[in-house]
Chain A
Amino acid sequence: MRSENLKTVFKQDRPFFLAIPAILWPAIFLYIPLVFLVGISFLKSFDYSVFDYSVIDALTFNNYRLLFSFTYVKILFRSFYLAFFTGFFCLLISYPIAYFLALRVGRFKNLLLFFLVLPFWTNFIVQVYAWFYILDVKGVLNTVFLKLGIISEPLHILYTPTAIYIVMLFCYLPFMVMPIYTSLSKIEKDTLEASDDLGAKPWQTLLYVTWPLSLSGVVTGFFLVYIPSFGEFVIPTLLGGGKIMFVGSLISYFFLDTKNIFLGAAFTCVSGLFLIISALLIFWIFRRYAKKVGGIYEK
C-alpha cells in the first residue's frame, strides 16, 4: 500500500528536483568517467583540444595487445594470489574470532567488538607504519625471537613479499570478522541447542549447523577483502620497496609516473575485468558448495 501512497500524496508537490543532485553525482563522477576510461583504452593518442575525427584515427587495439606480454599477466596473477591468499587466511583467522564473539562471549561482547573494530577505523597508513616497528630488522618480532632463541640471526622481512602478506592479513582482518559476526549472531540460539539436544558433538554442530548458517556472512566478508585487496596500492608500495609490482602499484605507475594514460586505461580495464571474472568464478564455486552444504542458496 505504501508505494501507492507516495505518488498520491506527493504528486502535487514540485521539489522532486531536490533528489536529482544525488543521482547526478555518481552519474557524472563515476559512471561517465568509467566510460571515458574504457574509451581511452582504445586510443593511442588524444589531442584534448581537437574534438573531431582525430579520435577515430587514433583508435587502436594496440594497448591491449601490449598487455598480453608475460610481465603484465604475471602482475595480474600476483595480485590475484595476494587477494585470494589474504581472503582465505583472513577467513581462517576471522571465523574463530567471529564465532567467539557471537556465540561465546556474554558480558564483554560490546567491549571486545569495539576493540576489534577500532583498528578498522585507524588510518590505513598509520597501521602499515606501525607494522614497520614489528617487522624491521631491529623491530619487535626479531628482538623477541632472538631473545627466545628461536632464531640466531635477525630475519629480513621488510621489503619482501612476506611482509606484504602479513600486513595485508592483519589490516583486512576486521573486514572479514564483522560480516561473519553479523551472520553468526543472527542464528537463533534455539537452533544450536536443538542440535545439542539431538546428540551432536560440538564439532558436528559447528560443521553441520553453524557453518552453513553463517555462509552469507562468509561470502560477504570474503569479497569485502578480496576485491579491495586485488587493487591494493598502499601496502605493496610501502612494504615492497617499490620493486615488486602489483596491479595497484602498476596502475599508479602508468598514470602518475609515465603519464601513459592509454596503456594505463587499458590495463585498468583488463585488471577490472580480471577481477570481475575471478570474483564471479569464486562466487559460482561457492554457490555450488553452499547448495551442497545447505547454506543460503538453496532453491
Chain B
Amino acid sequence: MRSNYGLGHYLLPIFVFFIYILLYCPIIVLVLFSFNKSPLSYKWVGFSFCWYKELFQSVEILAALKNSLIVASVSVFFSVSMGLFYVFYGTSRFLNRMIVFFYGSLIAPEIVLAVILLNFFTFFSIPLGLATLIVGHTLIGLGYVVPMLRNRYSEIDYSLIEASLDLGATRNQTFLKIVVPLLSPAIISSALLVLIVSFDDFLISFFCSGAVTLTLPMYIFAEIRAGATPVVNALSTLLLVTSSFLILILTSLKMRTRIF
C-alpha cells in the first residue's frame, strides 16, 4: 500500500471519531436521563425506573401508540400489496414509463404533501382521523415500495418466469408461486422500511389527523412544546431500541440477499 501518508491520514480517523461522538452525545444523554429520578430534566439526581412505570400507565401514550401501530401496519399492507401488484401486472409500456410517477412523493418536501392532503380532505369534507393518516402514509410508502420492488423484480432471471409459463402455469399462478417467493426479501425490506417511516412520521400526521387523533411522534412534539417530563425520555429510549432492532433485521436481510 501507500508509503506517502500525509498528516491528513492520521487526522481523519480522529475527526470521524469526534463527529460520531457529537452525533451520539445527545442520544446517549437522552437515554441516560430517562433513568433520572428528578423531573427537572438537567440535573442528575439518582437512578430510577419510575418514568418507565409512568410510561406504561399513561393512557395517552398507549392510545397514541395504538394509533401509530394501526396506521403503520395498515399503510404497510396497502403500499406493499399495491406496489407488488403494480410491479408484476403493470407490464404495458405505458405503465413501465410511469415509474417516475411514484417519485413525486419522495421528491416533494413533506410539508407540501401534508398541506395539499389537508386541503384535499377539507375540500371533500372528509373527516380527519386515522383513515386520512393511512391515506397519507400509504402515499409515502408507495414511493419507497415501488422502486425497491421494481429493482429487485428486474433482477429476477426472466427465464424463470418463462419456465413457469412453459410448464403450464397461468400468470396468476406464476405470480404466487414463483415471483412472490423470489421477491420476499425485498418485500420484507420494503415493508419494514415503510413501517419505520410511517411510525416515525410527524408532518403528515400533524396536519392530517385532526384534533383528536394522536400518533406517537405527535405526542412527543406536543410534550416538548408544553415542557416535557422524563417520561418522554423513557418513551424515546424504547423507540430507539425498537428502531435499532428493526434496522438490524433490515441490514441482515440486505446482506443475505447479496449472497443469494
Contact = CB atoms under 8 A, between A and B. Distances in A.
B116 A36 contact: yes
Contacts of A91: none
Given A15-B172, A114-B251, A133-B29, A29 B139 contact: yes
Interface secondary structure of B, over-half rule: helix
A170 B119 contact: no
A116 B19 CA distance: 10
Contact of B13 (A16, A104, A238): A104
Q: How large is the interface on A (under 10, 10 to 19, 20 to 34, 35 or more residues)?
A: 35 or more
A133 B26 contact: yes
Contact of A268 (B22, B105, B112, B162): B112
A124 B215 CA distance: 14
Given A30-B139, A33-B117, A129-B220, A121 B196 contact: yes
A93 B221 CA distance: 28
B23 A173 contact: yes
Given A96-B16, A134-B25, A29 B239 contact: no
Interface string A212-249: 00000000000000011011111000100000000110
A126 B158 CA distance: 45
Chain A interface mostly helix, strand, loop or mixed? helix
A139 B27 contact: no
Interface in B196-231: 196, 199-200, 202-203, 207, 216-217, 220-221, 224-225, 228
Contacts of B9: 202
The 9 A-B residue pairs whose C-beta atoms are closest, nearest first, are A19-B90, A231-B109, A130-B26, A22-B86, A33-B116, A33-B120, A138-B42, A130-B30, A18-B85
Interface of B: 2, 4-6, 8-9, 12-13, 15-16, 19-20, 22-27, 29-30, 33, 41-43, 82-83, 85-86, 88-93, 95-96, 98, 101-102, 104-105, 107-113, 115-120, 122-123, 125, 135-136, 138-139, 142-143, 146, 158, 161-162, 165, 170-172, 196, 199-200, 202-203, 207, 216-217, 220-221, 224-225, 228, 232, 236, 239-240, 243-244, 246-248, 251, 255
